[in-house]
Structures are given as structure tokens and as C-alpha cells.
Structure 1
Amino acid sequence: MAQPAAVIQMDVHAHYQKGSWRNRCYIAGPHGLQLLSVPLERGKNERRPFKDVKISQSERWQQQHWRTLEACYRRSAYFEFFEDDLAPFYQRPYTFLLDWNLDLLRFTFKPLKMAPDIIMTTSYQPFQPDNPFDIRAQNTKDTRHAALGATLAPYQQVFGERYAFLPNLSILDHLFNKGLSAIEKNNT
């Protein structure tokens, strides 16, 4: 059964911030943390509303990201379980970063049996530092979950025999390694 509908408000009119998590994530690779970054069109993206930030079409980033995910997670317990549903995100063309983010966000909600309403703002919403759910200022890998008070118990990761648990990775790491147990724990 799906979780009760929550509401996620996305401020799509806020200026894109270079170095934010809107176009990048970390996964576990054979040499530790591995960055996946969606390339953006050159220009002054920092002065541009997030809804208008375009993905660069000059690189084959989707193919590269997919091959990296396959190389890093093919031997994980649940990669094959999610593979067919995830692969189209790395084949379908995207113009805007917002569209890529929304599609991938909705993909991650589905196996977690969550169905939040995602509402786009109609104008810029000022940052609310006293609101723990306003996570726009969280830009580093060590603090991006801190705003919500989220902690994740260590779990077995693909390259766990090479190095200690790597926290704050993409939700894909959790799904590929924990599979249905990730779903069950998130629904209790």
C-alpha cells in the first residue's frame, strides 16, 4: 500500500546554484566515491531560474552514466530488478534539467511506494532558514540529508570489501543494494 500523499514543493523559479545537487550525485565505484554529473549548456546558469536550465547535448552523458551504473552495480543484489524501468531515463532525450530530475524523482518514489504530490512554484519563494524542510541551501555531500535529520544505517554495498560504508550516495545505491528490504524499511 502506498504511503499517504505528501506534498513536495519545488521552487523552480529559484536561481540555479553551481555546485548544488540538482545535476549531480555520488555512487559507489571501484575506487570509492564516483561522481555522476549531468552536463549543462554553457552560459550563466547561476542567474537562470532552475526551470530554464538546459542540459548540454554535446556530450553522450546518458550513455556514459548508464555504462557507469552497469559497471558499478551489475553485481549488486537488485540491479536487475530495477534495470528495465531505469534504462529508459538514459535513452530518452531531455532538454531541461528539471524534466530529468522530475522523471527520476518519480521513478524513485514508485518502488518506495510513495506517491507525493509534486507542486511547482509559480514564482520565486525566499529561502526559509528556520524551516528544516527547505533544503535548497544543502549543497555538500556531508550535509544534504542533515536538513531533514535523515540518517541511514550502514548496509552492504557493492564494493564493501574494499572500503568502509559510503554514506549519502544516490538513492539508486540503496535500491540496488537493498531492494525490497529498502522498500519495507521506508514504509514502516
Structure 2
Amino acid sequence: MGERVLVAHQPAYWPWCGYFSRLLDVDELVLLDHVQFSERGWQHRNTVADRYGRPVRLTVPVRRDFGQRLTEVRIAEPDFRERHWRTLSETYRRAPHFNRFADRLQELYAQSWTHLVDLNEAVTRLILDALDLKVTLVRTSGAPPSGTKTAALVDLCRRHQADVLRVGTGAGAYLDAGLLERAGIRIEVAAYAPTPYGRARSRPAGLSVLDLLMHEGPRARAVLMAGARTAPFTSTPREVHA
């Protein structure tokens, strides 16, 4: 029996390609919705590109409350749904695969969302389905892990019977590798090397995976696979090669 890999990430709004590239070979994503909301992060915003390749920022307006947990964050303006649907329609109506996803996107924005995390989970499920990834989503707010930072990750690994913790390239700044090693958990670093796609073959960096889906449709998963990289964690950051 092979090793079980844990991927835990904060729920985000239309996440970028690297978010999903680390899910290509796992069957579960742990959504860290018990953590504190970060106004400067990607929990309520992301970027797409218009038909000229110019970045377009989408931001969900939320009610500010200092120190609130992500699961508590409420959406401030319900009419953002019309704005975002209109922006996506205008941005991608000429993209090769817009019609493939238009009905699902319109249905998503027709719903009345009150909490950010519920919207983000629905967005994530839509993308996983579009990529044909059979990944179960589990929220931590129902049973938050014990401890903080690395100790919380150790607890999550034990709960989910994981031997490997898969993290992003910035993990060296916050992980206590020794604590994970003593717990018998191996650390794996996932990186994503963007692969050219679409007719222009040149897109702005860090776009939402939605841009990839609109331009590549069923081929989007293969593009993610081509750019996905993993390597053992080292205390000294290094490039991750194929």
C-alpha cells in the first residue's frame, strides 16, 4: 500500500493553477477554514485576463471584523454576483470553451451567497469537476486541529492517516521540519511551472485556473500535469525540477 498524501489549503476564490496541480494524484483536500481571515491574501479575490491578455481583478466584498475566522466572514454586497458574472461573460465570451462552462458559472452566480467560505467551496467543486478530479473536500471548522502552525498540521496528518505532507514552495518560512520528522511524516514540496496555453500562447502570470479552463477545456488537466513538480523538502529552499 502506497503512502497517503495530505494536502491542506485555505479555501480561495477562483484559485490559480498551482493550487490544483498539487491535487492531481490525491483523493482529498482539507480546507483550512478555521484560520484567521487575511484581507491581503487570495481568500476573496483573484485574477483573470481579458481577451487582450490584460489582468482583471475579481474581488468579493466582505464585512470586515478584526480577528474573524475565515468561516465567519460574511459577504457584504450581494450584487457582486451580477458584476462578476458580467465581467466573466465579457472577458471570456470569445474563448474557445466559454460555452462549455457558461451555464455552470451562471448558475453559481445566480445563488444567494452569504458566507465567503461557502462560495469558495462551490467554486472549488466546480473546478474539480471541470478537471475531472475526484477529490473530497473536508473543512477543518467542524473539528479544528489541535495546536497551531506545524503542530496543527501534524494533528491533521494523524487524523487523515497521512504519511506525507505536501506543501508549497514557501513552506520553509513557517514549517518546523523537526516536529514533522519526529512524528514520522515526510514533507514534499509541490511547485508549478506555468506551461504556455491558449491561442496567444502567452498569458499573465498567476491567473486563476478558470482562464486555463476557458482556453483549453478538456485539455486543462494535461496542462496542469505538464507543469506540476514535486521534490523532497530541504531546510534550504531550492528549485524543484522535473
Task: Say yes or no: TM over 0.5.
Answer: yes
User: 2:38 is matched with which residue?
Assistant: 17
CA distance in 2, matches of 1:111, 1:187: 15
User: 1:41 is matched with which residue?
Assistant: 63
User: 1:127 is matched with which residue?
Assistant: 149
1:167 aligns with 2:205: yes
Superposition deviation, residue 135 in structure 1: 8.3
User: 1:155 is matched with which residue?
Assistant: 197
Supply the AA of the counterpart residue of 2:33: V
**1:1-188 → structure 2 map (5 Å cutoff):** 6-29=27-50, 30=52, 32-44=54-66, 47-57=67-77, 60-121=79-140, 122-123=143-144, 126-128=148-150, 132-133=166-167, 148-156=190-198, 160=200, 164-186=202-224
CA distance in 1, matches of 2:193, 2:139: 27
Identity %: 24
The count of residues paired between Structure 1 and Structure 2 equals 170
SS at match of 2:33: coil
Superposition deviation, residue 167 in structure 1: 2.1
Superposition deviation, residue 171 in structure 1: 1.0
CA distance in 1, matches of 2:212, 2:54: 16
SS at match of 2:47: strand
Give me the CA root mean square deviation: 2.8
Flag structure 2 segments of 5+ consecutive residues without an equivalent: 1-23, 154-164, 172-188, 227-242
Contact preservation (8 Å) 2:53, 2:203: no
Supply the AA of the counterpart residue of 2:167: F
The structure whose residues are more often strand, as a share, is 2
Flag structure 1 segments of 5+ consecutive residues without an equivalent: 138-146
TM-score, with normalisation over the residues of structure 1?
0.79
CA distance in 2, matches of 1:88, 1:33: 24
| Shift in alpha-carbon separation, 1:97–1:76, aligned structure 2, 3 A | same
Superposition deviation, residue 126 in structure 1: 2.6
TM-score, with normalisation over the residues of structure 2?
0.62
Contact preservation (8 Å) 1:40, 1:53: yes
Superposition deviation, residue 166 in structure 1: 1.1
Runs of 4+ in 1 over 4 A off after TM superposition: 129-132, 134-137, 184-188
